[in-house]
A and B are shown apart, each in its own frame.
Chain A
Amino acid sequence: MADNNPLLVIDGVSATYNHAITALHGVSLTVDHGEIVALLGTNGAGKTTTLKAISNLLPASRGQITTGSIRFDGKNVPATAPADLVRSGLVQVLEGRHCFRNLTVEENLITGGIGRNARRHEISDDLEKIYDQFPGLKEKRRTLAGLTSGGEQQMTAIGRALMSRPRLLVLDEPSMGLAPLVVRDIFETLRKLNHDTGLAILVAEQNSTVALKYANKAVILENGKAVLSGTAERLRSGSDVTNLYLGQKSETSKTAHYFTAVGT
């Protein structure tokens, strides 16, 4: 049965920028159907590069995969155009949200529907669904995305990705620059989506506390290498892990960890 195969398989991927700067050294990870996987690590650990490689967006950032393979649902990712990956169900929410600032919130969402060649009535159905999931967006639908708050922009970016009806949603630091309550709302919505629709989620985060709370399993990157992986439960409890790779001293000093992680 096809469903026994993992949805996404990354095997020993190395990547460089401008053929000069090596950003990844043989990273491997898998995402199964209906799973939430967290990709953890500090700034510069290679999270964004990994995610860009997964959506075949590296060439647009002057990056290239040198070794290893990436397969999404059996498709050879580096040989598939980003637009075709979106159409086959792999959609990414970029780091820093990247909303279309001069388009309204609703227009932003619609572009996600265009991205998969949806029919007109499908787009309006999907819009209603997105507004159900993110009620705050409905009031802002006619506002230019660039004028909305950071949280609303993140929701717009996620909503836009959901408009493409993904099977695997990839998110790059959805918590970046957002208030803890907003971050919680966003992760709750993601968990609900995962639970209700079986949407698989791969999320890169510096905020390991939040990410490990919602993920099933996690992979920790350091200097472009996957140094540790396991169930989220195990990584949550293993203090050695957090000490070693995230600079976290203990559960009681979450803020200290947060600043260390951001600072490095």
Chain B
Amino acid sequence: MLDFDWQFFLEVLIGGLLSGVMYSLVALGFVLVYKTSGVLNFAQGAMLLFAALTFVSLVEKGIPFALALAITFGVMVAIGIAIERVVLRPLTNRPPMTLFMATLGLSYILEGAAQLIWGTQVHGLDLGIDDIPFEVGGVLISQFDLFAASVAAVLVLLLSIFFRYTRIGLAFRAVADDQFAALAVGLRLPWIWATVWAVAGLVALVAGLLWGARLGVQFSLSLVVLKALPVLVLGGFDSIPGAIVGGLLIGATEKLAEVYIGEYFGGGIESWFAYVVALAFLLIRPSGIFGQKLVERV
């Protein structure tokens, strides 16, 4: 172990952390909705796909970048509010499984709608960021990954400020804490839920663009939800810091495992190692690193 290549280790670690940020971004959309309404929104991936596809198609039609972004944002907010109105509100007070199944169905509807409107071909998405690695102290860093990580960091920062210092943010935290009390205090829950779904739409848009730029905008894009699940298990379903840290951990372990122990399994363990970690974590700490333990005080 004396000739352990630290530089290489660092390179893999940083690459892993940066790709982990992308997982965090998807997980964040889940956390926002789960925290306030207790719904595990399986349609987050479909929303992400829908956002990316709408944006790409608009750009391909010759609409300028900024305008396409604004239109897509508007569409995602409208979809978020519509989901709350049409799907979730009639199902208030139903068991969590019912709500989960509803969002599962919803993800198919969204995917189908996207297919119907924009077609099924694969689109390339160019955000104008060169994917040329640059060198810092002998370590190669992907420019695109760094860009993605910065965007995610700014988004998280903005969301934190929003929730910490605004009225609607305080109301959001109150609802997340005790929904029944929030109702009794006079907070308008439907309004707050609509806001949360709109924010989830925004997160889906950002994640969709970044993932779309990396993988190409195609239907397998909605499968990134599956990558978000281990992140949620690790970080806790109801914690925003958890989504960030969980994403970083999953990203880093995935890459490190692939490089250092992958050869013993014949390689390619990156695609499933995250689930092994999540499974192990479920045995040790089922509520996640930052998740709230369910403690009943009698």
- By a beta-carbon cutoff of 8 Å, the part of chain A in contact with chain B is 55, 57, 59-62, 81-83, 85-87, 91-92, 94, 98-103, 107, 110-112, 114-116, 160-161, 164
Tier of interface size on chain B:
10 to 19
A114→B171 contact, CB < 8 A? yes
**Shortest Cβ distance from A164 into chain B, in angstroms?**
6
B170→A86 contact, CB < 8 A? no
Say whether, besides A111-B170, A114-B171, A98 and B187 are in contact (CB < 8 Å): no
Question: Which residues of the partner chain B approach A91 to less than 8 Å between Cβ atoms?
Answer: 184-186
A164's contact among B170, B177, B186, by CB below 8 Å, is which? B186
A114→B173 contact, CB < 8 A? no
Answer yes or no: B89 CB below 8 A from chain A CBs.
Answer: no
Interface centre among A83, A99, A107 (most CB of B within 10 A): A83
Say whether, besides A55-B184, A98-B184, A60 and B93 are in contact (CB < 8 Å): yes
B181's contact among A100, A114, A164, by CB below 8 Å, is which? A100
A57→B184 contact, CB < 8 A? yes
Say whether, besides A60-B93, A62-B93, A103 and B174 are in contact (CB < 8 Å): yes
**Shortest Cβ distance from B239 into chain A, in angstroms?**
11
Say whether, besides A60-B93, A86-B186, A164-B186, A110 and B170 are in contact (CB < 8 Å): yes
Answer yes or no: B285 CB below 8 A from chain A CBs.
Answer: no
Q: How far is the CA of A152 from the CA of B51 in the complex (A)?
A: 47
Q: Which 4 A-B pairs have the closest CB atoms?
A: A86-B186, A115-B186, A98-B181, A100-B177
Q: How far is the CA of A87 from the CA of B186 in the complex (A)?
A: 7
Q: 1/0 per position for B175-197, CB-CB distance to A under 8 A?
A: 00110111111111100000000
Answer yes or no: B293 CB below 8 A from chain A CBs.
Answer: no
B171's contact among A55, A111, A116, by CB below 8 Å, is which? A111
Question: Which residues of the partner chain A approach B93 to less than 8 Å between Cβ atoms?
Answer: 59-60, 62
Question: Which residues of the partner chain B approach A60 to less than 8 Å between Cβ atoms?
Answer: 92-93, 180, 183
Answer yes or no: B61 CB below 8 A from chain A CBs.
Answer: no
B187's contact among A61, A62, A83, by CB below 8 Å, is which? A83
B174→A100 contact, CB < 8 A? yes
Taking CB as reference atom, which chain A residue is nearest B188? A83
Q: How far is the CA of A18 from the CA of B93 in the complex (A)?
A: 11
**Shortest Cβ distance from B293 into chain A, in angstroms?**
13
A99→B181 contact, CB < 8 A? yes
Question: Which residues of the partner chain B approach A85 to less than 8 Å between Cβ atoms?
Answer: 186
Q: How far is the CA of A18 from the CA of B167 in the complex (A)?
A: 35
Q: How far is the CA of A61 from the CA of B93 in the complex (A)?
A: 8
Q: How far is the CA of A103 from the CA of B169 in the complex (A)?
A: 12
Q: How far is the CA of A164 from the CA of B170 in the complex (A)?
A: 16
**Shortest Cβ distance from B263 into chain A, in angstroms?**
46
**Shortest Cβ distance from B99 into chain A, in angstroms?**
15
Q: How far is the CA of A60 from the CA of B181 in the complex (A)?
A: 11
A86→B185 contact, CB < 8 A? yes
Question: Which residues of the partner chain A approach B185 to less than 8 Å between Cβ atoms?
Answer: 86, 91, 111-112, 114-115, 160-161, 164
**Shortest Cβ distance from A55 into chain B, in angstroms?**
6
**Shortest Cβ distance from A82 into chain B, in angstroms?**
5
Say whether, besides A92-B184, A115-B186, A102 and B177 are in contact (CB < 8 Å): yes
Q: How far is the CA of A110 from the CA of B186 in the complex (A)?
A: 12
Question: Which residues of the partner chain B approach A55 to less than 8 Å between Cβ atoms?
Answer: 184
B177→A82 contact, CB < 8 A? no
27 residue pairs of the A-B complex, CB under 8 angstroms, read A57-B183, A60-B93, A60-B180, A60-B183, A61-B180, A82-B183, A82-B184, A83-B183, A91-B184, A91-B185, A94-B181, A98-B180, A98-B181, A100-B177, A102-B173, A102-B177, A103-B174, A103-B177, A111-B182, A111-B185, A114-B186, A114-B187, A115-B186, A115-B187, A160-B185, A161-B185, A164-B186
Question: Which residues of the partner chain B approach A107 to less than 8 Å between Cβ atoms?
Answer: 170, 173-174
Question: Which residues of the partner chain B approach A94 to less than 8 Å between Cβ atoms?
Answer: 180-181, 184
Taking CB as reference atom, which chain A residue is nearest B292? A102
B177→A101 contact, CB < 8 A? yes
Q: How far is the CA of A98 from the CA of B174 in the complex (A)?
A: 11
Q: How far is the CA of A160 from the CA of B184 in the complex (A)?
A: 10
Q: How far is the CA of A250 from the CA of B30 in the complex (A)?
A: 59
Q: How far is the CA of A6 from the CA of B185 in the complex (A)?
A: 23
Interface centre among B170, B184, B189 (most CB of A within 10 A): B184
Question: Which residues of the partner chain B approach A59 to less than 8 Å between Cβ atoms?
Answer: 93
Question: Which residues of the partner chain B approach A111 to less than 8 Å between Cβ atoms?
Answer: 170-171, 174, 182, 185, 187
Question: Which residues of the partner chain A approach B177 to less than 8 Å between Cβ atoms?
Answer: 100-103
**Shortest Cβ distance from A118 into chain B, in angstroms?**
10
**Shortest Cβ distance from A235 into chain B, in angstroms?**
28
Question: Which residues of the partner chain B approach A81 to less than 8 Å between Cβ atoms?
Answer: 188
Q: How far is the CA of A164 from the CA of B171 in the complex (A)?
A: 14
Taking CB as reference atom, which chain B residue is nearest A146? B177
